[in-house]
Chain A
Amino acid sequence: MLLIHCPFCKNRNETEFVYGGPVGANRPDPNLVSDEEWVDYLTMVPNPMGPVYERWWHARGCDKWFIICRDTVTHEILENPSEEP
């Protein structure tokens, strides 16, 4: 069970969080991209063995969405969001 650092609540157990998937590209302006680019945006999500930026939601906590960088092999959390008061 991961120990996840919420910017608001500090270290909490993974069971309090909902996984929001890896961080892909930003949502493009759908009127400025080709069909291929739009489909890529929807379907091509990073899935590396190693460090990946991913989204977590503190669902059973403060409701904050945030991004961490986690190594998918070792589970080490390499980057945490900066803390908020």
Chain B
Amino acid sequence: MKNLNRLESGGRIDRSKSLSFSFNGKLYYGYEGDTLASAMLANGLHVIARSFKYHRPRGIIGSGVEDPTSLIELLGEEASGNNLCTNVKLKEGLKAKSINCWPSVDFDVGAVVQYFAKFIPAGFYYKTFKWPTWHLFEPFIRIAAGLASAPKEPPKKGHFESRNAHTDFLIIGAGPAGLLATLMAARSGAKVFLVDQNTEAGGSLLSLNLNINQKPAMAWVESTLKEIANMSNVTHLQNSTAWAYREHNLVIVNEREVENVSIIERSWRVRAKNIIIATGAIERSLVFPNNDRPGVMLASAVLTFVNRYSVKPSDNMVLFTNNDSVYSYIEDLKTAGINVLAIVDSRKHIASTVLANAQNVRVILNSIIRNVNGYKKVNSVVVQSLVDKELETISCDLLAHSGGWNPMVHLHSQSRGTVKFNDRIASFVPDQSIQNSISIGACNGTFTLNEIFNETKSLLCGVSAHSKPLVYEGKLECSKQSYSIEALWSIDLSKEKNKAFFDIQNDVTHDDIQLALTEGYSNIEHVKRYTTGGMGFDQGKTGNVNIIGMVAKEQGIGLDDVGTTTFRSPFVPVSFGSISGVREGSVVLPFRHTPITKWNLENGAFMYEAGARWRRPGYFPIEGESFQETVNRECHAVRTSVGVYDGSPLGKFELKGENVGEFLDLIYTNIISSLEPGNGRYGLMLTDDGLIFDDGVAFRIDKHRWFISTSSGHSDAVYQHMLKILAFDHPEWDVKITNITNQWNNATICGPLARKLLKKLGTDIDCDNGSFPFMTFREGHIADIPARIIRVSFTGELSFEINVSPRNMLALWERIIEDGAEFGILPVGSEASHVLRVEKGFLSLGHEVDGTVDPYDLGMAWLMSKKKIDYIGKRSVHLRRSLGRSRRELVGLLPNNPNDAIPEGAPITPDGKKVATEGFTTACVWSVVNERWVGLALLENGHIRHGEEACVRMKDKIIRAKITKPVFHDSDGILLRS
């Protein structure tokens, strides 16, 4: 297949491998080695996208990550959102479409928007958020600001993965500097990790025809690659972008072409002793009217397309520059058959050696481009002399421009290194390194090959991360190059009607910057936020320094005084898949299971996540039953016969040592140390600011051995709390804590028939109330399984918590269900448990305990020891209460209409008026023993308001309820002690 704009020979494409691709539904052909951008240009496509705000037609401007405009959406197997077509490697069958344009890139209704542009000036978002109302504009903004759609389905062809790597040297960039650094480091025997974001190594040498040691520079690149390919201490990755430089020399690398085809992308977390940043420089735009028209390109990109991809994007072109670099391109452009009509140079003088490169080309010094004509493609440019302001129009089909070079200081800056302005190259260069990194080559402001090699040798000389320091022996003689520049941040644009863009991606114009400054946003960070200049996917790679220069010029200060905005990761857009790796779906936060999850599922449980990722049965519905009927049935079993629930997720800890008693007395509000072996106590833990942290039970096994339980969802926090106190406040204490949450499972049988069931199961423990009373535990066997049985009660009924090792849990559970059948036993889910607890007024973390209550508030002041001199939280509770402020206190609520349910969290206000709340409902359930709705609430001064009426304020009504004691069943606790 023949491409319209493809040269007959040359370039780094493989003409024997033709690849078909589609763009906006039309079929085209390119070659192996192309990017989507080079293939598009080869096919004569020049309008690729529509701009973000004004929907102006846009073409390809750059040739790599710096391109600010050519964002496309990939479809089909490769589906992914916003990709720069300059970054997409061409593959057979690739499907791409434009974004941000409707109905098509050539006829875009949104382009009408540009005529309303004056209504969306800089600071539009700031102002709109303030007045008149954001909601008025939101629908319009959402449509107009849309980027690509996210793929609707997960990728079909494979998965993402992450890897860790540790290395002596991480070298970022495989241009001349990075390759020489790699050679030096690799030859010293050090471990080297070389990454480069391009499809192939070589950096600028891929585009520039230079010589090293009298041979083409790419021959040196190839021999270098060959040498390192055979070294086992070198890992070399292409198509791999270092996009984040984090603390302690950790760099995140996104590898996009993995040798294993089932891996879509791989994320590397590389921890390196030394980091060599050799990321090169990016060409800067010039700012002049209509500098965004399709056919206005960066000069370096034109050269890259010609030399590397063998594309001829123009027949007749004009160059506009303020520096020397374009002069060295002339010979290559001419060789490709491009007619270079003129070089427009804003400088008064240039060196004769530079001028010598432009023989037979018209060089127009001391002049600028005043305007560009052509809407969808350049057809002429207007040149203006800076001396007499005379205008001249030159017909052409392409304008290539160069505003100088910006060293890519992004990674250096992300590592918290500082930058400084360098007058010689009119840009920012690295100053101080904070972490162990060195910037070399163009990213350090060094632009000619000879200097790059000399700098690399001298900066790395003596650096050592391994046995041998780095040296380079051997000569590297290179083609002569020179570079000089005179900064031109913007041409004079006073009274200019046409738009001149500083940030092409975000459509930020000269006027926007002016407006920001006029309105007082003069700090560069404010200019950025007010105008959005330098934001978005390109992060202002081609435009930012011009904005800084312009702000400096307008304020009459130096660029160093203006400074740069913060460089943030990612350096280039990175897919979410790459960041998450295999951590998707259930793998992100795996559920915790108990040994009977399978039984639960087989027996129709509706499973919930219940705190700390425990997957527990919510309820066990049977066919034809409503949710409430199921819950009532389960509650009824516990209150009238017997139920069983899986209490395994309860946090459980064993404590051993001479000082455990003192320790427990410090962390619980009541005295625990006086317990006799075999006995336990319910206790509250507070934080030292006097608020309830957790509740649970503590039991003594023998003199120096105890176990405690905590709330299921809170066991990790309690564990942390306990270890922290021991580590820092009482390192002298002998207390060892073992987390036994997963070592002990339990099935808790509860209900008036629980003891009968226990006897039927068969046990060697005397389980009569007299010999095995409430709040004691016994060890023995049950159904021939070794068990520790604890008499606690979470439901208010007679309960036996049968603790066994996990391997025996299922067997125990199945025996209980089997033997309990004659008593009408039911498995009880967390819904019924909640109802049973609320009926008893037992507190629940996250309901009644929300981090604001103390024991007095919950009517549990009796648990606060008066004998103990100190325990955690004591001082603060007393201090707070001594202030005498009113508190929200726990009460019961009985809705006047017994069939009125109060939603959890519903606010209570005085008289139900629209005034500040005086409390809220913490729980409300249908009570099976009372056959009505009952609730709990935290209510201001609630303890002295029993008998009064509370008003729950709902959106459409007020629910009135009687305030009562917070207990609705067996208020004297006779049943649980029976």
Are A and B associated in one complex?
Answer: yes
Which residues on A are within 8 Å of B, measured CB to CB?
A: 1-3, 14, 18, 20, 26-27, 29-31, 35, 38-39, 42, 55, 57, 59, 63-66, 73-77
25 A-B pairs within 8 Å (CB atoms) are namely: A1-B247, A1-B248, A3-B247, A3-B250, A14-B247, A18-B720, A20-B720, A20-B724, A27-B688, A35-B879, A38-B876, A39-B879, A42-B876, A57-B720, A57-B723, A59-B716, A63-B723, A64-B727, A65-B723, A65-B727, A65-B728, A75-B247, A75-B248, A75-B416, A77-B248
Q: Tell me if A55 and B869 are in contact (CB < 8 A).
A: no
Task: Tally A-B pairs: CB < 8 A.
Answer: 56
A70 to B269, CA, bound (A): 22
Q: Which 4 A-B pairs rank lowest in CB-CB distance, beginning with the nearest?
A: A65-B727, A30-B875, A3-B248, A75-B247
Contact of A59 among B689, B720, B876 (CB under 8 A): B720
Given contacts A3-B271, A55-B728, A65-B728, A30 and B248 within 8 Å (CB-CB)? no
B729 lies within 8 A of chain A by Cβ: yes
Q: How far is the CA of A14 from the CA of B271 in the complex (A)?
A: 13
Does the CB pair A42–B688 fall under 8 Å?
Answer: yes
* Structural contact, B875 and A38, CB atoms closer than 8 A: yes
Separation in Å of the B596 CB from the closest CB of chain A?
A: 27
Question: Of B247, B688, B727, which one neighbours A2 at CB under 8 angstroms?
Answer: B247
Query: When chains A and B are docked, how far (Å) is the Cα of A14 from the Cα of B879?
Result: 38
Contact of A31 among B250, B689, B728, B870 (CB under 8 A): B870
* Interchain CB contact (< 8 A) of A1 among B246, B416, B875: B246
Restricting to B419-447, which residues have a CB under 8 Å from any CB of A? 434-435
Interface centre among B246, B271, B729, B875 (most CB of A within 10 A): B875
- Beyond known contacts A2-B248, A31-B869, A59-B720: 12 more, CB 8 A cutoff: A1-B248, A18-B720, A31-B870, A31-B875, A38-B875, A38-B876, A55-B728, A57-B720, A65-B723, A65-B724, A66-B727, A76-B434
Q: Which of A1, A39, A65, A76 contacts B250 (CB 8 A)?
A: A1
Q: Which residue of A lies closest to B873 (CB)?
A: A30
Flag whether B874 is at the interface (Cβ < 8 A): yes
Q: CA–CA, A42 to B724, complex, Å?
A: 16
Bound-state CA distance A59–B717 (Å) is: 11
Residues of A within 8 A of B250 (CB): 1, 3
Q: How far is the CB of B587 from the nearest CB of chain A, in Å?
A: 15
Are B874 and A30 in contact, with the CB atoms below 8 A?
yes
Minimum C-beta distance from A46 to chain B (A): 15
Whole-angstrom CA separation of A18 from B727 in the bound complex: 14
CB distance from B283 to the nearest CB of A (A): 32
Closest Cβ neighbor of B248 among chain A residues: A3
A20 to B876, CA, bound (A): 21
Q: Contact residues of B with A, CB < 8 Å?
A: 246-248, 250, 269, 271, 416, 434-435, 688-689, 716, 720, 723-724, 727-729, 869-870, 874-876, 879
Question: How distant is the Cα of A15 from the Cα of B552 in the complex, in angstroms?
Answer: 42
* B688 cross-chain contacts in A, Cβ below 8 A: 27, 42
Chain A residues, CB < 8 A from B247: 1-3, 14, 75
Cα(A33)–Cα(B724), bound, Å: 23
Q: Chain A residues with Cβ under 8 A from B875's Cβ?
A: 30-31, 38
A29 vs B870: C-alpha distance when bound (angstroms): 8
Chain A residues lying within 8 Å of B716, measured Cβ to Cβ, are 59
Distance in angstroms from A51 CB to nearest chain B CB is 14
| A73: nearest chain-B partner, CB-CB | B416
Residue in chain A with minimal CB distance to B723:
A65
Residue of A nearest to B247 (CB): A75
Tell me whether B870 and A30 are in contact (CB under 8 A).
Answer: yes
Q: Which residues of B contact A14 (CB under 8 A)?
A: 247
Q: Which chain B positions have C-beta within 8 A of A57?
A: 720, 723-724
A74→B246 CA distance, assembly (Å): 11
Quick one: which of A2, A14, A42 has the most chain B CB within 10 A?
A42
Residues of B within 8 Å of A20, CB to CB, are: 720, 724
Q: Which chain A positions have C-beta within 8 A of B723? A: 57, 63, 65
* Least CB separation from A33: chain B residue: B875
Q: Is the CB of A38 within 8 A of B720?
A: no
Q: How far is the CA of A29 from the CA of B869 in the complex (A)?
A: 10
Q: Is B416 a contact partner of A74 (Cβ separation < 8 A)?
A: yes
Q: Which residue of B has the minimal Cβ distance to A65? A: B727
Cβ–Cβ < 8 Å partners of B720 in chain A: 18, 20, 57, 59
* Chain A residue with the shortest CB-CB distance to B875: A30
Q: Which single residue of chain A is at the shortest CB-CB distance from B716?
A: A59
Q: State the CA gap A57–B248 with chains docked (Å).
A: 19
Q: How far is the CB of A49 from chain B (nearest CB, A)?
A: 13
> CA separation between A74 and B434, bound complex, in Å?
7
Q: Could you tell me the distance in whole angstroms from the C-beta of A24 to the nearest C-beta in chain B? A: 10
A75 to chain B, nearest CB (A): 4
A39 to B716, CA, bound (A): 27
Give the docked Cα–Cα distance between A46 and B801 (Å): 46
By a CB distance below 8 angstroms, the chain A residues around B727 are 64-66
In the docked arrangement, what's the CA distance between A39 and B690, Å?
A: 11
- Separation of A1 and B269 alpha carbons in the complex (Å): 10
Nearest CB of chain B from residue A15's CB, rounded to whole Å = 10
Q: Least Cβ distance of A65 to chain B in Å?
A: 4
> What is the CA–CA distance of A27 and B870 in the complex, to the nearest angstrom?
12
Q: Which of B250, B728, B870, B879 has the most CB of A within 10 A?
A: B728
Q: What residue of chain A has the Cβ atom nearest to residue B878's Cβ?
A: A30
Q: Please measure, in the bound complex, the distance between the C-alpha atom of A81 and the C-alpha atom of B728, giving whole angstroms.
A: 13
The minimal Cβ–Cβ distance linking B764 to chain A, given in whole angstroms, is: 36
On chain B, the residues within 8 Å of A42 by CB distance are 688-689, 876
Q: Of all chain A residues, which has the CB nearest B874?
A: A30
Q: How far is A1 from B716 in the complex, measured between Cα atoms in Å?
A: 23
Nearest to B269 among chain A residues (CB) is A1
Least CB distance, A39 to chain B, in whole angstroms:
8
Q: State the CA gap A29–B246 with chains docked (Å).
A: 42
CA gap between A57 and B875 in the complex, in Å: 27
Roughly how many angstroms separate A66 CA and B731 CA in the complex, as a whole number?
11
Q: A1 vs B554: C-alpha distance in the bound complex, in angstroms?
A: 40
Task: Tell me the minimal C-beta distance from A33 to chain B in angstroms.
Answer: 8
Contacts of B689 in A (CB 8 A): 42
- CB closest residue in chain A, given B724: A65
Smallest CB–CB gap between B878 and chain A, Å?
9
Q: In whole angstroms, what is the CA distance A53 to B248 when docked?
A: 18
Smallest CB separation, A36 vs chain B (Å) = 10
| Complex alpha-carbon distance, A13 and B752, angstroms | 53
* Cα distance A66–B726 in the bound complex, in angstroms: 11
* Chain B residues, Cβ within 8 Å of A35: 879
